[in-house]
């Protein structure tokens, strides 16, 4: 079918090079700056939503979960929901399987590997079921407003190293859909080579000790 052929083409051309704890400074920023600011208006037990989009084969959303379990003191006090989305259905299937090789795990502390992964075939490691099942995975097209809107709004979005592959029109569309997917006051983390500066004037640039991120202004838009 045409839809099947289009999906196969998308899967063939999407870029999936990634590993755990990539751009660790942003994870530090998440636990030390972004979430402390986001929970100021929340109560214990309230939902904190984090979106990894695109999530590729799962290293990023699982990294976020691992990092918060190990480094955020309030991880158990709030209802943390982590969603991983991608247009590449093969990558999403890999994320759901949760099996990774030594290279993907090389930046993780050995104690984290031992605690959250179990041995799998061919010297690979598999994320433990409790952690794997705590992440919601869903197919989403970043430049399709309807597809994006289905996921609701988030406190923090990681959208790293994908805008550089878009043309100018697609970047502007993605900026609009990402802005709409953030709650007022929510944060957007891009890749270290990426900037919203020439794409959208809607976001506020925020400089934190560990990272520069973009924020949807708190004013009612």
The pLDDT value recorded for residue 109 is: 96
Q: What DSSP letter does each residue of 151-183 carry, written as one string?
A: T--EEEEE--S-GGGS-HHHHHHHHHHHHHHEE
Domain boundaries, the chain: 22-96+133-215
Element at 97 (helix H, strand E): helix 89-97
**At residue 15, does pLDDT exceed 80?**
no
Q: What is the pLDDT of residues 139-159, one digit of tens each?
A: 999 999 999 999 999 999 999
In this structure, the chain runs to a length of 221
DSSP string computed for 21-67 = TTTHHHHHHIIIIIHHHHGGG--TT-EEEEEESS-TTTHHHHHHHHH
Gyration radius of the chain's alpha carbons: 17
pLDDT at 221: 45
The span from the CA of 168 to the CA of 13, in Å, is 19
Express each pLDDT in 74-130 by its tens digit. Answer: 999 999 999 999 999 999 999 999 999 999 999 999 999 999 999 999 999 999 999
Both tokens of residue 168? 């100018």
The pTM for the full model equals 0.91
Hey, how many other C-beta atoms are within 10 angstroms of the C-beta on 118? 12
CA torsion through residues 60, 87, 140, 196, sign: positive
Query: For residue range 172-209, what is the model confidence (pLDDT) as tens digits?
Result: 999 999 999 999 999 999 998 899 999 999 999 999 99
Q: What would the pLDDT profile of 43-52 be if each residue is shown by its tens digit?
A: 999 999 999 9
- Superfamily of structural domain 22-96+133-215: Vaccinia Virus protein VP39 (3.40.50.150)
* Structure-token pair, residue 39: 């929970």
């Amino acid at each position: 079918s045409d839809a099947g052929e289009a999906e196969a083409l998308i899967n063939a051309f999407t870029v999936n090079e990634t590993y755990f704890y990539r751009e660790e400074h942003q994870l530090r920023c998440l636990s030390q700056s972004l979430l402390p600011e986001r929970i100021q208006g929340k109560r214990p037990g309230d939902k904190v939503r984090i979106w990894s989009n695109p999530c590729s084969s799962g290293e990023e959303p699982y990294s976020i979960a691992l990092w918060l379990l190990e480094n955020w003191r309030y991880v158990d006090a709030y209802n943390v929901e982590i969603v991983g989305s991608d247009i590449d259905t093969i990558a999403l299937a890999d994320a759901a399987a949760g099996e990774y090789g030594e290279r993907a795990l090389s930046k993780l502390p050995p104690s984290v590997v031992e605690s959250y992964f179990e041995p799998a075939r061919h010297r690979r490691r598999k994320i433990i079921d409790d952690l794997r099942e705590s992440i919601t995975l869903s197919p989403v097209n970043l430049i399709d407003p309807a597809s994006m809107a289905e996921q609701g709004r988030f406190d923090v979005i990681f959208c790293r190293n994908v805008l550089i592959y878009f043309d100018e029109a697609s970047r502007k569309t993605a900026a609009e859909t990402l802005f709409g997917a953030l709650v007022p006051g929510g944060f957007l983390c891009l890749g270290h080579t990426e900037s919203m500066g020439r794409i959208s004037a809607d976001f506020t640039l925020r400089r934190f000790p560990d990272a520069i991120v973009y924020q949807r202004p708190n004013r009612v838009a």
